[in-house]
Amino acid sequence: MGKAFAILFAAFCVTATGAVAQDAALFKQKRLSGKDVASANYSGITRLDGNRYAVVSDKEEKSGFRIFTIDIDTLTGRVLSVTADTLRGFRPTAPRDEESICYFPESGTLFISGEEDQQILEYDTLGQPTGRKLDVPAMFGRSYIQPNRGFEALTYSQAKKLFYAMTESALIRDGGSGGSLSLRLVSFDEGLRYAGQYAYRMESPTMKQGGRLHLHGVSEVTALADGRLVVLEREVRIPKGYIGAKARCRLFIVNPGPENAVDEGTDMNSLPESTYMEKTEIADFTTRLNLLRMNFANYEGMCPGPRLADGRQTLLLIDDTQAGAGNSLFRLSEHLKVIVF
């Protein structure tokens, strides 16, 4: 989703506001230091162990990831420090536009989804491809998705022994070009074989259409320890004059089951409402452009962090700044946000 955000350099400042559903606590986002974390297009994050995370960027010369060290206060949930190493990877023959990443503990490897090639490839811990990949059905191929609306979300559930992936918007066959809200959550088993699909309905867009840019879709899915999933829905609108631009993020918990199953032949737009996964909203917040501050954050990556001392779960969100897009007056900054529930 990168190109569009390069236009943000015409704006001067940003502020963030938030509205929270249920009991989730949203901490003020932490601006990441340029000397500790290089500017990039961070689009996915996954926890490896302890305070180590693998983070993918969607516009790199190499295909791979960086290892982040993120220290969080387990009493309060606040971010204490963040550092990152250099990019680990290889130079692919064609750009992959990598959007999401997940850790597979059974083999100690990572899987990365590419929106450009619509493939989900396995990498070792040095960022080199193993030659294995998830068996993505042909119906999710490049010619069947809207441009730049492919596999944006990827996770692995150790509780259910399944990988899950989701495109950002509905497939063309499901009415994606007409604004359909019906998405398919696709699953794969530990043998990397296709396992099934589940119906997911996005919330309707709430922002005014038109302007310089309007985006609406799922930007990430992450698995919790109990097998449930958290889905990040994001909507962005940038007016022609830039000022007044905003990005809204909403987080929902779902638990896909046989009652939500669909297949290749399913007409997604004539499904009974009961087929779609039940959603429980846990957070809702918006970042805005104005002339006072610059806190705009286009959150694309999300993963569980550590549990706090009181048992609550943390979620870590990382944003895509388009490698610090800006002009001589300012540059967008990378941010990390913690949500506790």
Among positive and negative, which fits the CA dihedral 262, 264, 266, 267?
A: positive
Measure the CA angle with vertex 102, ends 87 and 49; round to 5°. Answer: 80
pLDDT exceeds cutoff 90 at 102: yes
What average pLDDT does range 281-310 have in this prediction? Answer: 88
Please enumerate in sequence order all residues whose Cβ is within 8 A of that of 185, keeping only pairs 6 or more positions apart, or say none: 164, 165, 166, 197, 198, 199, 200, 221, 229, 256, 277
Sign of the torsion angle spanned by Cα atoms 147, 149, 150, 152:
positive
Q: Is the pLDDT of residue 2 over 70?
A: no
Q: What local confidence, expressed as pLDDT, does residue 328 receive?
A: 47
Q: What radius of gyration, in Å, describes the C-alpha atoms of the chain?
A: 19
Q: What is the rounded average pLDDT of the residues 272-286?
A: 96
Look at residues 36, 58, 22 and name the one whose alpha carbon lies nearest to residue 321: 58
Closest CA to 234 of 270, 190, 279, 285: 285
Task: Provide the pLDDT for residue 325.
Answer: 53
CA atoms within 13 A on the CB side of 117: 17
pLDDT for 20 beyond 70: no
273 pLDDT more than 60: yes
User: Please, are residues 112 and 101 in contact by the beta-carbon 8 Å criterion?
Assistant: yes
In the numeric block, the tokens 């022609």 are attached to 240
Give pLDDT tens digits for 76-93. 999 999 999 999 999 988
Q: Which is higher by pLDDT, 288 or 252?
A: 252
Domains of the chain are 3-340 (2.115.10)
More confident residue, 34 or 174: 174
pLDDT at 21 > cutoff 60:
no
DSSP 8-state assignment for residue 308: P
State the average pLDDT for the chain: 88
Q: Are 25 and 17 in contact (CB under 8 A)?
A: no
Q: What is the average pLDDT across 327-337? A: 68
At residue 177, the 3 state secondary structure works out as helix
Q: Which of 38-42, 100-104, 214-218 has the lowest mean pLDDT?
A: 38-42
DSSP state of 173: G
In degrees and rounded to multiples of 5, residue 24 shows phi and psi of -65, 145
Instruction: List the one residue out of 33, 25, 29, 28 whose CA is nearest residue 81.
Output: 33
69: pLDDT strictly greater than 90:
yes
pLDDT at 323 over 60: no
Taking the alpha carbons of 282, 310, 156, 298 in that order, is the dihedral positive or negative? positive
Q: Out of 8-22, 74-88, 291-305, pick the least confident.
A: 8-22
User: What local confidence, expressed as pLDDT, does residue 332 receive?
Assistant: 63
Give the lowest-confidence range in 34-43, 52-61, 216-225. Answer: 34-43
Q: How confident is the model at residue 12 (pLDDT cuts 50, 70, 90)?
A: very low
Q: Which residues pair with 31 in a beta bridge?
A: 335
Residues in the chain, overall count = 341
The pLDDT, as a whole number, for residue 148 is: 86
The three-class DSSP label of residue 8 is helix
Average pLDDT over residues 166-175: 96
pTM for this entry: 0.91
Model confidence at 219, pLDDT cuts 50, 70, 90, reads very high
Per-range mean pLDDT, top range of 15-19, 174-178, 304-308? 304-308
- Residue 208 confidence (pLDDT) above 90: no
In this structure, are residues 294 and 9 in contact, taking their beta carbons and an 8 Å threshold?
no
Q: What is the pLDDT averaged over residues 36-61? A: 92
Please answer whether residues 264 and 199 qualify as being in contact, where contact means their C-beta atoms are separated by less than 8 angstroms. Answer: no
- Under 8 Å CB-to-CB from 209, ≥6 apart: which residues? none
